[in-house]
Amino acid sequence: MANTLLMPKATAVWLVDNTALTFEQIAEFCRLHPLEVGAIADGDAAQGIKGMDPVMTGQLTREEIARGEGNPNHKLKLSEPKVRVPETKRKGPRYTPLSKRQDRPNAILWLVRNHPELKDAQISRLVGTTKSTIEQIRERTHWNSANLVPMDPVTLGLCSQIDLDLEVQRAARYLPAAPAGETLLPASQTEGLLIEGLGGSDTPPEEKELDADAVFAKLSSLKSKDENEDEDEH
């Protein structure tokens, strides 16, 4: 937690609205994709998330922001925390007030669509639901599936942005590595395929050299034939 930025999306919202930093600088500092930062600037993402001033929380200094604004290639550095906040561990699902329980299916649908990497246990901790309900919403077998609308659980007040970011970071650690592309065939195999494509192994690998004398003899015979035809016409 000492070197982890708290509430990266809320921080990105504040940096977009209050600084002249580039999208790439904000994305790298907040560990977001530059396109997501661009969507935040256009109002297409992070709707309902209130910007958080990283200077007020001691995660970034004014001097560091000024250096980034003056140099687009400068990478923002997270300030060392002055107070260490211990991570609290919670057992069991989160308790949800009765007034907000009707919003849980909408929040679950939002999490399933926007963060498919989250496990059922993580979603259950965030919004206080059961695995069977999550499975029903994911498979569209929930009794109210036709009326569900995906809504951000943070906006609904079902969980905090910090808790959501922590669960997303935990899930990202266990994502499988991208599969490596297919390797090229060995040279011995490609040479064999090339020979087959050219007509088999009987095809000579090199073109035969031209016989200059034979070429000149052929031209001479053609010239003589043309002269004889001209004489016959006269």
Q: What is the 3-state secondary structure (H, E, C) of 68-79?
A: HHHCCCCCCCCC
- pLDDT band at 186, cuts 50/70/90? low
d(CA 51, CA 19): 12
Lowest-confidence segment of 52-56, 157-161, 173-177 by average pLDDT:
173-177
Which residue would you say has higher pLDDT here, 201 or 231?
A: 231
Task: Give the 3-state secondary structure percentages of the chain, helix then strand then coil, rounded to 5.
Answer: 55, 0, 45
d(CA 90, CA 70): 43
d(CA 193, CA 207): 19
CA-wise closest residue to 24 among 41, 32, 66: 32
Summarised one tens digit per residue, pLDDT across range 123-132 is 999 988 889 9
CB 59 within 8 A of CB 78: yes
Residue range 54-78: mean pLDDT, rounded: 90
- pLDDT band at 93, cuts 50/70/90? low
pLDDT at 181 over 60: no
- pLDDT band at 110, cuts 50/70/90? very high
Residue range 56-70: mean pLDDT, rounded: 90
Structure token pair of residue 92: 């069991």
Q: In residues, how long is the chain?
A: 234
The pTM is what? 0.40
Residue range 164-185: mean pLDDT, rounded: 71
Cα distances (Å, whole numbers) of residue 185 to 180, 182, 191, 225: 15, 9, 10, 56
CB atoms within 10 A of CB 29: 25
Checking phi first, is residue 118 left (phi over 0); if not, alpha (psi -120 to 50) or beta? Answer: beta
d(CA 139, CA 148): 13
Average pLDDT, the chain: 77
